Amino acid sequence: MKKYFIISIMMCVAIAPIAFSQSKMKSSFKADVEAQRIKNKKSIIEVKQQLEAIRKDIKERNLKFKVDMTEALKRQIEEITGTVPPKDLEKEAEIQTSRGFQLFLEFLQRLAEAQAAKRQAELQPEKKEPVKPEEEVRKEEPAEKTPAQPEETLPQSFMLADPSKPVVDWFALGMMTAVKDQRLCGSCWSFTAMGVVEGCYKINKKADIDLSEQYMIDCARNKYGRDAGSCNGGWYGNVFDFLMNNYPVMEKVAPYKGYEYGCTPKKQVPIKLVAWGYVRSDGGIPSVDEMKKALCTYGPIAATVKVTPAFQAYVGGIFDEFTPVSSPKDVNHGIIIVGWDDNKKAYRIKNSWGERWGEKGYMWIEYGCNNIGYGAAWVVLDKELQ
């Protein structure tokens, strides 16, 4: 007994330094991250000079937005963005969109069949019949199922809104969840993905849900087994891949840390995608009509944009900078397109820089400005069938 007690003490003494060492490493890593962030912060003189140059450009070109000294402007762009589109997006988009749309049609077919069965059950109340002898039951043929009507399987039957309207805005309709803040981590791709899922869930269930972006940073992998992303950037399409076969977790279960923490098992929420795809089969920038149709068919749309100092300083109005771009792929930030207004000739987008940026976390951005919409992608949730 005494020998066993001594061995147990020795084991505890051996394990304790390891645990302490791991904790110390995490603390050291976090301290290094914070030190680098302080080092990267712009000087107040630099920020003022940038703001003055932006205001001068707005005045000279008679632009329609307002700027001020925001927290976002004080940071380097790469610290608060983080979207990195796949190099072969055109090829990936063609495959994914074709498969995604087919899965969407299959989902609509199941939905139509379920609705037809429900209507039939309501029209023909269940009748209690006398119990028949087993011999008679065996002789009876099973009743044929009523097939779903072909028109009920068409995507048009699933439209959530009318794309011919001059204004459709999921935020104004109260269907978007709270604005979040990615802080100084290039994780916009995760906030874009989770924001789209939250918005689609709310449209269909009329209920808020707060999903964890941190869990996607730590755990999400795409269909090829590669990490969806990190604080150094990622792609929301990889998160959608992950959610085709996995569930997310709630924010309170895996709260946001703003740095990579390592994947550990968490209690999950039974919300899974049945389909996802790109608005354009090549992943390029959709036309306004294509974007409207997607917003009305699927709900909020994941997309990208090119962030500039003027974008960082935005506090209101219609953003119409139209900064020079090298190609449609010249983007660096993931956002969510939540609606449009033809009177403004602009989309409303939801950002992930907190409510103190822009118009309480949102922006009106003119159609075609700063490559808005490149890589636009939609999702459909399995939760809609339940």
Residue 138 has what pLDDT?
A: 46
Task: Kindly report each contact of residues 205-210 with a partner whose C-beta sits within 8 Å and lies 24 or more positions away, as own/partner.
Answer: 205/383, 208/177, 208/178, 209/177, 209/250, 209/269, 209/271, 210/177, 210/178, 210/250, 210/251, 210/252
Residue 299 has pLDDT above 80, yes or no: yes
- Residue 356 has φ and ψ, to the nearest 5°, of -85, -10
Of 107-111, 115-119, 135-139, 337-341, give the lowest mean pLDDT range.
Answer: 135-139
H helical segments located in the chain: 2-40, 44-61, 89-123, 134-139, 188-205, 213-219, 236-245, 288-298, 309-313
Residue 111 has what pLDDT?
A: 83
What three-state secondary structure class fits 339? Answer: strand
Residue 181 has what pLDDT?
A: 98
Residue 215 has pLDDT above 60, yes or no: yes
CA distance 136 to 17: 76
Of 148-157, 233-242, 260-269, 284-293, give the lowest mean pLDDT range.
Answer: 148-157
Which residue, 232, 184, 182, is CA-closest to 35? 184
- Residue 22 has φ and ψ, to the nearest 5°, of -65, -45
Residue 326 has what pLDDT?
A: 97
The residues annotated as belonging to the active site are 188, 333, 351
CA distance 101 to 120: 29
Q: Which two tokens stand for residue 371?
A: 């490559």
Residues 6+ apart with CB under 8 A from 80: 72, 182, 183, 184, 186, 188, 307, 312, 353
CA angle 345, 349, 351 (to 5 degrees): 150
Residues 6+ apart with CB under 8 A from 114: 385
H helical segments located in 253-366: 288-298, 309-313
Residue 117 has pLDDT above 50, yes or no: yes
Kind and range of the H or E element at 274?
strand 273-278
Q: 199: pLDDT confidence band, cut at 50, 70 and 90?
A: very high
In the chain, what are the domains? 77-105+157-380 (3.90.70.10)
Residue 293 has what pLDDT?
A: 97
What three-state secondary structure class fits 382? Answer: helix
CA angle 142, 145, 149 (to 5 degrees): 165
- Structure confidence by residue, pLDDT tens digits, 26-56: 555 455 555 555 556 789 999 999 999 999 9
Average pLDDT of the chain is 86
pLDDT, average across residues 226-249:
97
Judge whether 351 and 362 are in contact, CB under 8 Å.
yes
Residue 112 has what pLDDT?
A: 84
Residue with the larger pLDDT of the pair 348 and 1: 348
Residue 146 has what pLDDT?
A: 41
Q: Which two tokens stand for residue 192?
A: 């874009």
Residue 6 has pLDDT above 50, yes or no: no
DSSP readout, 179-220?
Answer: --B--SSB-HHHHHHHHHHHHHHHHHHS----B-HHHHHHH-
Residue 35 has what pLDDT?
A: 55
